[in-house]
């Protein structure tokens, strides 16, 4: 079994409550990654899940430089 060990990636999630009561969570390092939720926790969980999907797609399509630029890691770290 292979074990992947890499640098830790950290992302900033900005949270706001809309006038209608919904919560909006946005992953600042991943443009366009934002999600609504009925609660703050649900919005954050949805934004985290979407962010992971975006990163997985980028890895699958060989876009390591793009991820490295957003996270401060080098492509070798990934």
For residue range 52-66, what is the model confidence (pLDDT) as tens digits?
999 888 888 877 666
What stretch of H or E contains 45?
Answer: helix 40-60
Residue 60 has a pLDDT of 83
- What are 37's strand-pairing partners? 23
Q: Which domains does the chain have, with CATH numbers?
A: 13-77 (3.30.160)
- For residue 67, what pLDDT is reported? 64
Instruction: Determine the pLDDT at residue 4.
Output: 46
Give the pLDDT confidence score for residue 53 in this predicted structure. 94
Give CA torsion, residues 29, 35, 40, 41, to 10 deg: -80
The pTM of this model reads: 0.74
Rounded distance between C-alpha atoms, residue 57 and residue 75, angstroms: 16
Q: Mind listing the pLDDT tens digit for each residue in 6-55?
A: 567 778 999 999 999 999 999 998 889 999 999 999 999 999 999 999 98
The shares of helix, strand and coil residues in the chain, as percent rounded to the nearest 5, are 40, 20, 40
Nearest to 44 by CA among 26, 57, 28, 31: 26
């Amino acid at each position: 079994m292979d074990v992947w060990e890499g640098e830790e990636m950290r992302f900033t999630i900005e949270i706001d409550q809309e006038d209608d009561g919904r919560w909006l969570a946005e992953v600042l390092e991943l443009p366009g990654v934002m999600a609504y939720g009925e609660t703050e926790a649900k919005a954050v969980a949805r934004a985290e899940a979407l962010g992971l999907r975006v990163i997985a797609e980028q890895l699958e399509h060989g876009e390591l430089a793009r991820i490295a630029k957003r996270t401060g890691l080098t492509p070798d770290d990934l």
